Structure 1
């Protein structure tokens, strides 16, 4: 399946890696800290709380950006993206059974193992090897991959 130059492919499955609302934790912490401390004798230490809020915001910003880079999952008709790894769907021949053990099989993405709290989907590649794809919603990724492979087989 090819798309015209500049046309975006439909996204069949996607996970961002992290939610952007997490970035609100630092500012909310600063606001709550200022509000609670203003009730105490002596008033609030506004610069201190703003500094704490800024530090927490910067820390969560680094976390969110790295999680969005390394834990991103996206499936289009032509490509499966796992972190910064791109696997052409033309290299995937089938899915392995759900209960198949995936230890010792090459994991797609940037790490040596399936990320914590992510489920595994074992793929059989056209060269006969196996690879492990992963997602928080592994069943959803499996369904999207299965639908795509069935559609490719009937066309």
Structure 2
């Protein structure tokens, strides 16, 4: 691998989009059902807690997997990936400054990158002007860290 290929693979910023720790809610639901059975005095019937464990874990697995695909963020020296959409760093003309408190900027109505209909919950947008008159919003939970990394790659933010 050449130095250039190694630099392209270097990840400057990463957010996974979802955490697998939520899968522990499945066994917790099974344990809660077991406790309910015990407190009811009927004894434990292992089918009900097992079913709750499997069902809750299964639904959560689907949700977490989707979040890790659609709300993950990765920035390398050449590309910004938002979910499944890629934006080339060379296409970014400028990054709009963070809005002042209690003000709404025009860029906050721009399309969010990724295939989602808007910025995912818990994330904050970063306005960008792209080549050919295009524009959009990058987003992340740690948006100030992503903004700083993007500004170091693109240059100074726009006024």
**TM-score tier after normalising by the smaller chain length:** 0.7 to 0.9
Structure 2 distance, partners of 1:126, 1:138, is: 22
Which deviates more, 84-93 or 24-33?
24-33
Q: CA deviation at 1:126?
A: 2.5
| Structure-2 residue corresponding to 1:142 | 147
Unaligned stretches of 5+ in structure 2? 100-104
Q: TM-score, normalised by structure 1?
A: 0.85
If each structure's helix is expressed as a fraction of its own residues, which one has the higher value?
2
1:3-82 equivalent positions in 2, closer than 5 A: 3-4=4-5, 9-82=9-82
Which of residues 85, 106, 125 is equivalent to 2:111? 106
Q: TM-score, normalised by structure 2?
A: 0.83
Contact 2:7 2:77 in 1 (8 A): no
Structure 2 distance, partners of 1:57, 1:101, is: 42
Structure 2 distance, partners of 1:142, 1:7, is: 20
Structure 2 distance, partners of 1:8, 1:78, is: 6
Provide the alpha-carbon RMSD of the alignment. 2.1
Contact 2:108 2:125 in 1 (8 A): no
Structure 1 distance, partners of 2:18, 2:75, is: 17
Unaligned stretches of 5+ in structure 1? none
When the two structures are aligned, how many residues end up with a matched partner?
A: 149
Contact 1:81 1:87 in 2 (8 A): yes
Contact 1:91 1:126 in 2 (8 A): yes
Which of residues 127, 135, 142 is equivalent to 1:122? 127
